[in-house]
Structure 1
Amino acid sequence: MQVGIDQIGFYTPNKYVDMVDLAHARNEDPNKFLIGIGQRKMSVADQTQDAVSMGINATLRYLDQVELAKVGLLIVGTESGVDQSKSASLFIKSALNLPVNVRTFEVKEACFGMTAGIMIARDYVRLHPNHSAIVIGADIARYGVNTGGEVTQGAGSISILIKADPQIMTLNDGHSAYSADINDFWRPNDSPVALVDGKYSKNVYLDFFKHTYTAYQTQTGSKTSDFTALLYHLPFVKMGFKANQLAIEKEDEETKKRLADNFTASACYSKEIGNIYTASLYLSLLSLLENAQLPENAKIGLFSYGSGAMGEFYSGQIVNNYEQALHKTADQTMIARRQKLSIPEYEQIFNRALQVPEDGLELASDEQSGMWYFAGTENHVRQYRQK
């Protein structure tokens, strides 16, 4: 029995900032952001979007194709949790009307959280082959206006259905993991924005990639030339580009071109949306699937990284006719529908979103009909509504 990814759902908020505009406002050369960082735009979440609402919206992309009675597990990986106790997954389960017997919880380890959820879901389905599992990564990357990390912000969610005999990608046996207690990035309980040692974090990311990728090759006997594509967690596109260069530097020209071309395809959506923490690696996967032509049984390598720090490398095989299970037109429409913000508009929306709304104040959403949003709190209980 093979277990893997059967469906992928995607959501990003309906506003964005252009990196050229941001560069001009910060008195920077636009090429520093466009080339040096590798970003073109970044999605901006207003006060009505959070990890819960984005996770709901991403899952709704495919929920009508799921046998709800067979869903046995719902996991949310996030570092943008809405409560110190109650899981984001319970709000999502309620909105999606999932069965009462679904086991559900939230996972946290920086940007590694969704991968942790997928590994748990994979093992769950292997033991319960008649059940499926929903795994969601949903995050808002915030460093603050006019900070060093500002250009690496973003917002969005990816939702994945894990089941037996999947339509998109099977998950191979074997993985390599590497962890260490370090302080390259963190967000204290009393801070609405993350703290990061940017240069140190870049070095740790590349070091963890080398550790996990080398260990995976030793464990499985895999060669770089065996892979159709290598995918990366993309806090910003240039970070993954550097890791990919390390992987291909000693390879033949055919392998270099294939992996370079497919990296470019995998980064298309991240360039437009920015950093979405736990879901970034799986946005890379979605981008590859919808922007590249992959051969039958293509082998895909995935490098997951979460600051603090946890890294893992694993792989999967693309299923024949995977394209039929994608929602390419809807996904690209989702990106294209966004409203461009001026820099003053972006700064106002960003700073307002850092504030906790007054209890009892009802928030209104400017999203399109059918989308879910955070509507404020009543007696300090979070309220979610559908537009």
Structure 2
Amino acid sequence: MMTTGLEAISFYIPRVYVGLDALAERQGIDPEKFSKGIGQEKIALPGHDEDIVTMAAEAAQLIIDKYGADGIDTVLFATESGIDQSKAAAVYLHRLLKLSPNCRCVELKQACYSATAALQMACSYVARKPDRKVLVIASDVARYDRDSSGEATQGAGAVAMLVSATPKVAEIGAISGLFTEDIMDFWRPNNRRTPLFDGKASTLRYLNALVEAWRDYQSNGGLSFEDFSHFCYHIPFSRMGEKANSHLAKTNGVPVDAQKVLPGLIYNRQVGNCYTGALYLSLASLLDNAEDDLGGSNVGLFSYGSGATGEFFDARILPGYRDHLFTQQQRRMLEERESVSYDNYAALWEEIDLSKGAPEQARGRFRLAGVEDEKRIYVDRNA
């Protein structure tokens, strides 16, 4: 069978954040409700001149700079923070990255799950055409009503993955376990900027989808629980990853081992929820922060999108993978961020009239300069 998987994986996080201690003070509650209760510390905040396209471009440019764009003829852009009801964000991204015009570009949506659909499609495509490569993007801004129960689970970021028939980081397994049910645990009608949700129901359905997807994975001939050195889960908040890890262990009748999940939670605690990118930020966190060399080991991955679709699949980490990571750049990106006050956070949360131009707040190469005649204007500062 043809080997397909990740040749590279990278991410981008905006330069400012608000600490959850500021939200706790605003709400008059103990900060440990956030730091221990949901396991979160910071919320990444995009500037008014940043959105899913600029963040995606920053994440992908790291890969393009190192590996080039040769062979990329498909861009699959997963998001639930769409900027247009018709035109795919992938098309804007395609121009910013200066990719070949002989390229297909589409946008995928199913809550937080769609990046996994994109990854599986990409692997199938490069297995059929091993001389081609696919750029998979997961980019989102998680935004909830202020002073709501979901406010502490906001965040923003983008993850880029280069999928090819010559993977250097991880081989994606051919077996998946799938589960879908029509439920209303989280949704956002077209007339709303922020979602509607039932937090308790969503947590319960997430765990149910995990078990059902795992059982389907097993019935399809997947690896046994003991074959996995680590697990990565969709992480709307890091405590959810711990709950999922415990639930899956108990389902399999084995002792809970927190070390199988903790390295994959480090970045998410500092960033918050980035929806479609949350699972893959967890994978990047595991690859960057695992103390032992993971080369040759198996990692289990569970993807969940409310509404709801879940998928469990496996990845084999390849020997020498550390030579193809962006660990130092990504750690520096997180370390060099700036904290803002609650008032400044509130100002960034509010929408502004982009027809008058956007203030220069992005730290990166790409920015949204404004909107002219209902057209979004993106610029490359290096052009």
Distance in 2 (alpha carbons) for counterparts of 1:69 and 1:377: 32
Q: Residue 20 of structure 1 corresponds to which residue in structure 2?
A: 21
Q: Which amino acid aligns with 1:371?
A: R
Is the partner of 2:75 in helix, strand or coil? strand
The TM-score, its normalising length taken from structure 1, stands at: 0.95
Matched, 1:263 2:261: yes
CA distance in 1, matches of 2:273, 2:69: 31
Q: Is the 8 A contact 1:181 1:309 kept in 2?
A: yes
Is the CA contact 1:298–1:318 (under 8 Å) kept in the aligned structure 2?
yes
| Selected match of 2:368 from 360, 365, 374 | 374
Q: Which runs of 5+ in 2 are unaligned?
A: none
- Aligned residue runs from structure 1 range 124-163, under 5 A: 124-163=125-164
Following superposition, the deviation at residue 15 of structure 1 comes to: 0.9
Aligned to 2:174, what secondary structure does the other structure show?
coil
Q: What is the DSSP-based 3-state SS (H/G/I as helix, E as strand, rest coil) of the residue aligned with 2:149?
A: coil
Q: Which residue of 2 aligns with 1:79?
A: 80
Give structure 1 stretches of 5+ with no counterpart. Answer: none
The one-letter code matched in structure 2 to 1:39 is: Q
Q: CA deviation at 1:363?
A: 1.3
| Distance (Å, rounded) in 2 between the aligned partners of 1:154 and 1:34 | 15
Number of residue pairs matched? 378
Alignment-derived partner of residue 46 in structure 2: 45
Instruction: Report Cα offsets for 1:110-159 as digits up to 9, x if no partner.
Output: 00111111111111100000000000000000112111100000000000
2:341: which partner in 1? 342
Check conservation: 1:225, 1:251, Cα contact below 8 A: no
TM-aligned CA deviation for residue 324 of structure 1: 0.3
- Give the 5 Å matches for 1:1-387: 1-249=2-250, 256-257=256-257, 260-292=258-290, 293-351=292-350, 354-355=351-352, 357-359=353-355, 361-368=356-363, 370-387=364-381
Check whether the contact 2:48–2:359 (CA below 8 A) recurs between aligned residues. Answer: no
Q: Percent identity of the aligned residues?
A: 35
SS at 1:81 equivalent: coil
Partner Cα distance (1:137, 1:83) in 2: 16
Shift in Å at residue 338 of structure 1?
Answer: 1.2
Instruction: Look up the equivalent residue of 1:365 and give its one-letter code.
Output: E
CA contact (8 A) 2:48 2:361 kept: no
Structure 1 pair 173–358 and aligned structure 2 pair: CA distance change class (3 A) = closer
Is the CA contact (8 Å cut-off) linking 2:142 and 2:154 kept in structure 1?
yes
* Distance in 1 (alpha carbons) for counterparts of 2:147 and 2:47: 18
Q: Which amino acid aligns with 1:313?
A: F
Match of 2:230, as an amino acid?
Answer: A
In 2, distance between residues paired with 1:314 and 1:128?
A: 22
Instruction: List structure 1 runs of 4+ shifted beyond 6 angstroms.
Output: none
Is 1:224–1:251's contact at 8 Å kept on the other side of the alignment?
no
Q: What's the CA shift string for 1:168-227, capped at 9, x where partnerless?
A: 000111101111111110111111111111111111101100101122123225221110
Separation (CA, whole Å) in 1 of partners of 2:254 and 2:304: 27
Shift of 1:358: 4.5
2-side partners of 1:358 and 1:128: how far apart? 42
**Deviation sequence 1:220-279 (CA, Å, 0-9, x none):** 2522111011110000111111110012236556xx43xx21311000000000000000
Q: Which moved more, 1:67-76 or 1:323-332?
A: 67-76
Q: CA RMSD in A?
A: 1.3
Shift, 1:381, TM fit:
0.9
What amino acid is the match of 2:342? Answer: I
SS in 2 for 1:105: strand
Cα distance in 1, alignment partners of residues 293 and 33 from structure 2:
32
Amino acid at match of 2:267: Y
Match of 2:285, as an amino acid?
Answer: S
Rounded to whole Å, the distance in 1 between the matches of 2:117 and 2:254 is 34
| Letter matched to residue 339 of structure 1 | E
The alignment partner of 1:312 has SS state of: strand
For 1:33 and 1:286, locate their aligned partners in 2 and report how far apart those are by CA, in whole Å: 23
TM-score, normalization: structure 2? Answer: 0.96
Secondary structure of the structure 2 residue equivalent to 1:282: helix
SS of residue paired to 1:68: coil
Q: CA deviation at 1:62?
A: 1.4
In structure 2, what is the Cα distance between the partners aligned to 1:184 and 1:385?
Answer: 37
Task: State how far apart, in whole Å, the 2-side matches of 1:246 and 1:291 are.
Answer: 24
CA distance in 2, matches of 1:366, 1:322: 34
Distance change (3 Å), C-alpha of 1:238 and 1:380: same
